[in-house]
Homo-oligomer: A and B are copies of this chain.
Amino acid sequence: MPTSALSVERVLTDARSAVVPALRAAVNGLSAPMRRLAEYHFGWSDQQGAHIEDTGKGARPTLTLLACEAVGGEFEQAVPAAVAIELVHNASLLHDDVLDRDRLRRHRPAIWAVAGVPEAILLGDALFFLGVRTLAEAPAPLASTGVKWLVTAAQRLVEGEHADLTLEERDDFSLAEVTAMAHAKSGVLLAEACAIGALAGGADADRIDHLRAYGAHLGQAGQLTDDLLGIWGDPAVTGKPRLADLQARKKSLPVAAALTADNAAARELADLYRGPSDPGQLQRVADLVEAAGGRAWAVEEARRHARTALEHLRAAVPASRAAEALTLLAHRVADRTR
């Protein structure tokens, strides 16, 4: 039953509308001073505490609700799971920004930059526990199996962040290792967002596994696209300073592919990347990543992961408005410009 583009946009909007009030209700469960910090972080208030319009993407909670509906459930069965995953995701962003000293989050100063590192660490911790608690207080199987999946995924996410931290200081690495790290950092939580949504909707193990694989491949496609935009995206559109990843000497996926290629550009890139970071040479670094084949590889890999995501989706669920929306998301993730 194919549906029109209009109704796909509608289901995405509906999913988002179903999550935000529940997310706000969960955040209201924090102590008053922590709630004020959280409201700023989520983009619901400005630094003075005044209300502003919510503009977040909320990719993960949307996936959770759509996975639930795609297997025959109702949005509301998956709302606690969607909220839990969004809280854990945002907790990891808060800590991530401290680790990377990223001053911007969603086009605004990060919490650590406005309120301090201790506040960012504690708000992250509080959102971690609030997230798990939201799921633990939901009916079974979310409270039992769902909690297990969520905390296991969160642990792998943290281990991925840690691997990334140590990778920056190492010359000896394989592309497989960097890919596994990227999966841990951005694929695992998306995979569980889909799996737990399907669990909430009453799916059997086989369909859950296919939806988990859909989420994992979507996550890899998204990370590849993010990495590409970090080098060749328009800063006015992405909201992030151009070439910042290269300046920080990050081993993003296109860079890792270029560094592990066997050609002259790869060798020149490796020499430059080992030296001190020179803002005047960042464009040259970007050009070498492309010349070594890193850009083409990442573009092709993003497409391949999006295709594989769709194969798993088709294996998991029949055509429906939710399945159509999940299809659209997989197409978008490999083609997006922001």
Which A residues have a C-beta under 8 Å from some C-beta of B? Answer: 30-31, 33-34, 92, 95, 98-99, 117-119, 121-126, 128-130, 132-133, 136-137, 140, 143-144, 147-148, 151-152, 154-155, 158-159, 161-163, 165-166
How far is B118's CA from A36's CA once the two chains are assembled, in angstroms?
A: 25
- Determine the residue in chain B with the shortest Cβ distance to A29: B155
How close is A295's CB to chain B, nearest CB, in angstroms?
Answer: 29
How far is B143's CA from A151's CA once the two chains are assembled, in angstroms?
A: 12
User: Looking at the complex, which one of B119, B129, B136, B143 makes contact with A162 (CB distance below 8 Å)?
Assistant: B119
- Determine the residue in chain B with the shortest Cβ distance to A132: B151
Q: Are A125 and B31 in contact (CB under 8 A)?
A: no
User: Looking at the complex, which one of B119, B124, B125, B147 makes contact with A147 (CB distance below 8 Å)?
Assistant: B147
A155-B143 contact given A33-B163, A162-B33, A162-B119, CB 8 Å threshold: no
How far is B91's CA from A126's CA once the two chains are assembled, in angstroms?
A: 13
How close is A97's CB to chain B, nearest CB, in angstroms?
Answer: 11
Q: With a CB–CB cut-off of 8 A, which chain B residues contact A122?
A: 95, 99, 158, 161-162, 165
How far is B151's CA from A133's CA once the two chains are assembled, in angstroms?
A: 6
Q: Are A159 and B121 in contact (CB under 8 A)?
A: no
User: Looking at the complex, which one of B92, B126, B159, B163 makes contact with A159 (CB distance below 8 Å)?
Assistant: B126
How far is B148's CA from A317's CA once the two chains are assembled, in angstroms?
A: 33
How far is B117's CA from A126's CA once the two chains are assembled, in angstroms?
A: 19
Q: Are B159 and A133 in contact (CB under 8 A)?
A: no
Q: With a CB–CB cut-off of 8 A, which chain B residues contact A118?
A: 98-99, 165
A136-B151 contact given A125-B95, A126-B159, CB 8 Å threshold: yes
Q: With a CB–CB cut-off of 8 A, which chain B residues contact A119?
A: 162, 165
User: Looking at the complex, which one of B33, B126, B148 makes contact with A133 (CB distance below 8 Å)?
Assistant: B148
How close is A144's CB to chain B, nearest CB, in angstroms?
Answer: 6
How far is B67's CA from A61's CA once the two chains are assembled, in angstroms?
A: 40
Q: With a CB–CB cut-off of 8 A, which chain B residues contact A152?
A: 129, 133
Q: Are A128 and B126 in contact (CB under 8 A)?
A: no
- Determine the residue in chain B with the shortest Cβ distance to A129: B155
A147-B154 contact given A95-B125, A122-B162, CB 8 Å threshold: no
How close is A27's CB to chain B, nearest CB, in angstroms?
Answer: 12
How close is A135's CB to chain B, nearest CB, in angstroms?
Answer: 9
- Determine the residue in chain B with the shortest Cβ distance to A125: B158
How close is A4's CB to chain B, nearest CB, in angstroms?
Answer: 42
Q: With a CB–CB cut-off of 8 A, which chain B residues contact A166?
A: 33
